[in-house]
Structure 1
Amino acid sequence: MRPVCSAASGCCDEALEESFRAAMANVAAAVSVVTVLTEGDAHGTTVSAFMSLSMTPPMMLVSLDSKSDLLSRLRVGSTLGINVLASHQDQIARRFAQKGVRRFEGVAWTIEDGAPALSERQAWVAVSVTRFVIAGDHTLVLGAVNAADATEEAPLTYWQRTFGSHRRS
């Protein structure tokens, strides 16, 4: 077991960052491709930091790197698509995580509820961006849910820097 590292214990920033990364790697997260349509072009990126925020009214939160190309295309009122990936879609997750590639090339998709929707996915949520909150090196994108659906497929998860899945026992 690694020694406990905290700002209070006097760890340097680098050691705390390493300890925090290791701790967060132990948290399994669902994987999604978050998309937006701007000036007729589809844009998307792989995200594991998203969550339901409120049921009344229905709201979602997505965390994007503040240097994200996708974030630079968003405005209050933009429609954001959250394509939750199915367990076999690890190659899609990798593709949308890369920089400098044509991410949608060879990937089946349509426009649904105002945003690019992958034709194959585990779940779908479309939101209207309502607010941006700067949080460290990321920006939290809050949105009101416009539409949602789900399949019975198992989700793609990310744990210990590896893709996997969760299955019902």
Structure 2
Amino acid sequence: MPIPSDQFRDVMSCFPTGVAVVTAREAGQRPRGLTLSAFCPVSLEPPLVLVCVDRTSNTLPALQAAGGFTVNFLAGGREHLAVLYASKAEEKFEGIRWRSPETPEGGPVLHEDSAAYAVCVTRQAIEAGDHWVFVGEVQEAATIPGRFPLLYHRRAYRDLAEPPD
């Protein structure tokens, strides 16, 4: 018998993770996005990553239809964006500076608010419990010099004490 979801959530909160905003575009090119911490590199050859998205997310239909997505690893001090993209707000991109990636399937790149990003083409989408798992092949990626990632640990956002060398 599986453990209760509250207990599972408690245990998982002990594992610190980076905070990412995953973006995609609806058919009409409207940008969509959500905050998640369920990200994992999968393979180096080819370069694959996975993201897990709650099936009730209002960004899910765009991710399913777009054929790709962008993982924006939020920079330290961007907690307000993590909270915004975790909400059900419809206009999450209003007042946010972003750019389109070269890869047409990719979602908006939050270049001013990220420590790094990866633009992906979807290779697999798998329904898993109350989430969808998207496996993406990385087509573009970059780190932003001088920025360090926003972290999430024990239900709180945290910054690294200093950026890595």
| Alignment TM class, shorter chain as reference | 0.7 to 0.9
Counterpart CA distance in 2 for 1:138 and 1:65 is 4
In the alignment, the residues of structure 2 paired with residue 76 and residue 29 of structure 1 have an alpha-carbon distance, to the nearest angstrom, of: 27
Q: Which residue does 2:18 correspond to in 1?
A: 30
Q: Kindly state the Cα deviation for residue 76 of structure 1 after the two structures are TM-superposed.
A: 6.8
Does the aligned pair in 1 maintain the 2:39–2:50 contact within 8 Å?
yes
Q: Which residue of 1 aligns with 2:157?
A: 163
Map 1:74-89 to 2 at 5 A: 74-75=63-64, 78-89=67-78
Computed over aligned residues only, the root mean square deviation of the Cα atoms, in angstroms, reads 1.8
1:116 aligns to 2:108 (yes or no)? yes
- State the alpha-carbon separation in 2 of the partners of residues 101 and 159 from structure 1: 27
- Inter-partner Cα distance in structure 1 for 2:81 and 2:8: 27
Name the CA distance, whole Å, in 2 between partners of 1:77 and 1:59: 17
CA deviations 1:14-58 (Å, max 9, x no partner) are x62222111011111100110012222111111110111110100
Q: Which runs of 5+ in 2 are unaligned?
A: none
Question: What is the SS of the residue equivalent to 1:147?
Answer: strand
Q: Is the 8 A contact 1:76 1:128 kept in 2?
A: no
Moved more, 55-64 or 36-45: 36-45
Provide the secondary structure at the position in 2 that maps to 1:133: strand
Measured in 2, the distance between the counterparts of 1:100 and 1:165 equals 25
* 1:75 CA displacement: 3.5
In 2, Cα distance between equivalents of 1:140 and 1:24: 18
Q: Is the Cα contact below 8 Å between 1:76 and 1:129 reproduced in 2? A: no
Amino acid at match of 2:29: G
In structure 2, the residue matched to 1:141 is 134
Identity of aligned residues (%): 29
What is the aligned partner in structure 1 of residue 50 from structure 2? 61
Q: Structure 1's 73 and 164: CA in aligned 2 closer, same or farther, altered over 3 A? A: same
TM-score by length of 2: 0.88
Deviation of the 1:133 alpha carbon: 1.1
**Secondary structure of residue in 2 paired with 1:91:** helix
